[in-house]
Amino acid sequence: MTLLFPEDWIPQAVKTKLPDGYQIRPLDSNDYNRGFLQVLAVLTTVGEISERRFQEQYEYIKRARDTYYLIVVENDQGRIVGCGTLLVERKFIHTCGLVGHIEDIAIAKSEQGKKLGLRIIDALDGIAKEIGCYKNTLACAEHNQIFYEKCGYKRNSLEMGHYFQGPPSPIRNARI
């Protein structure tokens, strides 16, 4: 087992609010076999990813300099049931400031209603603050605006996309 980053970067206050037997922690090099990719499939197409390919991508993002913070929620059966990504960008503006990009928040359908999405956002916000980001930003569907407002987010602007190989069939109505 190799965690992507130190476990104690996740605020203790978030860990204690999880259902009994659940844990929230950094992505682990063995999470391929615990259902990590199946959780992501709630969001969009994941495609065929072999364990070797998963390991390569894991090693790549681990070696990238202080950039990727992927976390997962594991339930009391040892299965991954939620996940989220914080991508940290080094800017020149705001005195070489850091901005966190929240990406790919997913909760297994059978585990929704347990506030796991809120815990994941709170954890990623806590990590971003710890690292020194001046803000986190994310793109969300209109119907998720209220959820993110409860997490402390405010509506800023539009998110626009340019697809180079045709849209990869995202399931845009996925709910947190």
**Exposure pattern of 54-76 as b/e (b: 16+ CB <10 Å)?**
beeebeebbeeeeebbbbbbbbe
Min. distance of Cβ 53 from a second copy in angstroms? 6
Kindly state the tokens that stand for 136: 């986190």
- Contacting a second copy (CB under 8 A), which of 23, 29, 38, 44? 44
Task: Give the whole-angstrom CA distance, residue 56 versus residue 66.
Answer: 17
Listed residue (93, 44, 103, 118) closest to 68, CA to CA: 103
Nearer to a second copy, 20 or 167 (CB): 167
Q: Does 9 bind a second copy (CB under 8 A)?
A: no
Determine the interface stretch with a second copy among 2-10, 11-19, 43-51, 72-80 (rule: CB under 8 A). 43-51
Q: Does 150 bind a second copy (CB under 8 A)?
A: no
Three-state secondary structure call for residue 12: helix
> What residues numbered 89-148 form the site for a second copy, per CB under 8 A?
89-97, 101, 103-104, 125, 128-129, 133-142, 145, 148
Q: Does 33 bind a second copy (CB under 8 A)?
A: no
- Contacting a second copy (CB under 8 A), which of 17, 109, 150, 155? 155
How far out from the chain centre does Cα 49 lie? 19
Q: Given CA atoms 32, 101, 148, 172 in this order, what sign does their dihedral have? A: negative
Task: Give the whole-angstrom CA distance, residue 82 versus residue 62.
Answer: 20
Min. distance of Cβ 136 from a second copy in angstroms? 5
Catalog residues that contact a second copy under the rule CB under 8 A: 36-37, 40, 43-49, 53-54, 57, 60-61, 63-65, 67-68, 85, 87, 89-97, 101, 103-104, 125, 128-129, 133-142, 145, 148-149, 151-165, 167-168, 172
